[in-house]
Structure 1
Amino acid sequence: MTPTLEDRAAGCLVGAAVGDALGGPVEGWSPDRIVERHGGRIHGIVGPWYEDWRTARPIAPYHKGDGHVTDDTLMTHALVRVYETVRDHLDAYAVADHLVPDLMSTPRWIPELETEALPLQRIFLAEKWIVARLHYGHVDPREAGAGNIVNCGAAMYAAPVGIVNAGNPAGAYAEALDIAGAHQSSYGREAAGVFAAAVAAACAPGASVGSVVDTALSLAKDGTRAAIEAVVEVAAGHRDFESALVPLRAAVAPYDSVGPDYRAPSLGARRPSRLHSIEELPIALGMLLVAGGDYASSVLGAVNYGRDCDSIATMAGAIAGALAGESAIPPAWSKQVAEASRLDLQAPAAALAAVAREVFARDVSRRRAHEAAFAALAGAS
């Protein structure tokens, strides 16, 4: 049966959270180091890289592993709450008016800290940027992203934009670019738009991984498009993530400014450029192609790829979940992540689907008003 909007929203957001939790404990490491640490490839939820995670560097004091979601999910759920408040399309001003206060003012359970705290105290410096620029700097929200590190920070939580614009990839692309303008510039902002569009395309009845990738390529610009093309070409020759790990990295490497050592970025890393792309989105699409859209295989491919694998798995999980619905996600994984993270993973999805229905009704009304106005104008001419 074709998944409903509600089912696709649940598949998308639960799928993203589960992918995030699976990738968190091995984020930043290479495939070889992951095999060395875990005695082979990862096939499910694992514990933290260091047992003394409270003091171990470079990741202290975060308990990454054991089913804990990371900042990718925290930011995704925060954006859902903004949609719940506004109940319409969002723009950069919504980030300033609603997202920043949410991050600064309301303590929430932070799984990696194992305590209640302000989300601001957990999110990465690239996300704290929006607080510094919008709350303290009073920068125009549409321009606040300029000057920030160019990474996947805005893209990693753009999935809700795709659900609100389900079936309308071009609308999702434009809305995500507007929202991301408060956070990012250059190819980081572009990735947010393309990822949101991919989620929206995955929600269309009859969608497939191929149609999602085609949509992404039709909208992507500059280095982002080139990187996706390169990864897609390589992914076509693989049907198992094991054989695809090294070739996919080689395909995206010319466009990724970070360099071969993820923990020691190159001097030119993460600077604005029309030639580069973030690594995470093309690899997520590549893993989806290799896996034929299968949720578990896509996410496990992303996790075992290493590097920024929590965000790669977040994106792959969101798209695979939107394509097939929540039933595609192994129930044992989603149950363990929800319990370990102390989060209701279904509630944000249900809330977002309700908002999407309201927004669509408003869009229909606005479109009809436009049609009537244009018809009167055209008739008068």
Structure 2
Amino acid sequence: MERRVEEQYRARVRGCLLGGAVGDALGGPIEFRDAANIVAEHPDGVRTFVAGGNDWPPGTVTDDTQMTLFAVEGLIRAGVRTDRGLGLTVAVTQHAFDRWLDTQLLPGPSGQRDGWLQGEQWLYARRAPGNTCLTALTEARKGDRQIRQFGAQAVNNSKGCGGVMRAAPFGLLPHENHTQWVFDAAAESAGYTHGHPTGKLASGALAALIYEICQGAGLDAALDTTQDLLSRYPAHEETSTALAAARELAKAGKPGPATVEQLGGGWIAEEALAIGVYAALARPEPEQFLDALALAVTHSGDSDSTGAICGNLLGALHGETALPAELVFAVEGRGVILQLADDFVLEFVHGRRLHGDHGPETAWRTRYPGW
């Protein structure tokens, strides 16, 4: 990859992951609150980190960012696994989510897991994890862990936003893939916890949007491509309708909590996607990044997930330098987020140098075992 292209790619990866974390942390403390009360305290929308309940200090991320980081790690490990002559194995991300489940059930690292991410103590905080994710991953653990195979879809009818909130990393995969493959991979991974078709398709749509953006498309062009692809899938109607509504509201103007809530609360997959897309369309310029995040989180709904999705989109579009500095420096886990972002780029740009029969191979595989 040409150096200039690699630098832009790295900026998009960093911007997407860090932007998602900032949006998550901005919205997390006000989740479950009524919009009228939020606006009374924040007339211009929530634009600074605030403290939340259960001893959440300002800047704290939630399960949205936690699971997204494990998805990134899983994709890196899937990249390492391709040395076995296999394609990119999506089921490796389910193994990653199984390690995330440890962080919600144990007080700290058990010493029985490989890789480095599960060793980060700050990830062991429970930040209102979704019941569907917890239940589905716990069910998948039944049986002998030593022989358990990953890749089975969840047996439930949930279309909660717990799949789409962690789908962005699939869109960051390099151009050797293509939009439909990225869409299908993200949908499959969402299906490890969420069984409803809409939960899967909304996740695929977010990944496709980010993939198209990373190839140089603007938001509108990326939406055109994604909506056309989405329309070919059975049961696409809920997600297609939600995206169309987001685009229409963005064209109509009048951004604010009342307009956002016309799209729903964001508790279910297509609504969370629509709100994140709407906020990005309504405030699309680099200098409007904070305006967009404030719009995405200031409503009576799942503010952390809608903020994360908006941050993912605009971070991929504009790169890390567009993110509001006053939030970037204070977001929880920034060092780990950037480390994973850079390692993701290293794996998918310089993987041959890291996997070769020389010095880095053993250390890289210890850091990212291929399963």
TM-score range, shorter chain: 0.7 to 0.9
Aligned equivalent of 1:158, options 164, 167, 177: 167
Look up the match of 2:364. Answer: none
CA contact (8 A) 2:261 2:300 kept: no
- Whether 1:133 and 2:143 are equivalent positions in the alignment is no
- What's 2:258 paired with? 246
Whether 2:270 is the aligned partner of 1:278: answer: yes
1:237 matches 2:252: yes
Q: Residues 201, 14 of structure 1: CA spacing in aligned structure 2 closer, same or farther, 3 A cutoff?
A: same
Instruction: Using the TM superposition, give the Cα deviation of residue 133 of structure 1 relative to its aligned residue in structure 2, in angstroms.
Output: 1.9
CA shift, 1:342, in A, is 6.7
Q: 1:66 to 1:168 in 2, by over 3 A?
A: same
Runs of 5+ in structure 2 lacking a partner? 110-120, 231-235, 354-371
Taking every aligned residue pair, what percent have the same amino acid on both sides?
24
- Partner Cα distance (2:343, 2:97) in 1: 17
TM-score (norm 2): 0.76
| Corresponding letter in the other structure for 2:339 | A
* Alignment partners' CA distance in 1, 2:352 and 2:318: 22
Secondary structure of 2:298's aligned partner: helix
Partner Cα separation in structure 2 for residue 95 and residue 325 of structure 1: 25
Cα deviation digits, residues 348-379 of structure 1 (max 9, x gap) = 11111223326799xxxxxxxxxxxxxxxxxx
Counterparts of 1:324 and 1:75, CA distance in 2: 23
TM-score for the superposition, normalised by structure 1: 0.74
Specify whether residues 81 and 140 from structure 1 end up closer, same or farther in structure 2 by C-alpha distance, changes over 3 A only: closer
**Which residue of structure 2 lines up, in the alignment, with residue 15 of structure 1?**
19
Select the structure with the greater relative contact order (CA < 8 A; seq sep ≥ 6).
2
The answer to whether the 8 A contact 1:163-1:199 is kept is yes
Cα 1:178/1:358, change in 2 over 3 Å: farther
Which region of structure 1 is more displaced relative to structure 2, 23-32 or 166-175? Answer: 166-175
Which residue is 1:67 aligned to? 59
Q: For the residues of structure 1 that align with 2:21 and 2:204, how far apart are their CA atoms?
A: 20
Q: Is 1:26 matched with 2:30?
A: yes
Does residue 317 (structure 1) correspond to residue 328 (structure 2)? The answer is no
Q: Counterpart of 1:292?
A: 284
Q: In structure 1, what residue type is equivalent to 2:129?
A: I
Residue 357 of structure 2 aligns with which residue?
none
**8 Å Cα contact 2:165-2:308 kept in structure 1:** yes
Equivalent residue number for residue 153 of structure 2: 144
How many residue pairs were aligned? 318
Amino acid at match of 1:210: D
| Residues 147 and 355 (structure 1), Cα distance of their counterparts in 2 relative to 1, 3 Å cut | same
SS of 1:292's partner is coil
Residue of structure 1 equivalent to 2:222: 212
Distance in 1 between residues matched to 2:240 and 2:63, nearest whole Å = 26
* Uncovered stretches (5+) of structure 1, i.e. residues with no partner: 54-60, 109-114, 263-269, 271-276, 362-381
Residue type of the alignment partner of 1:103: L
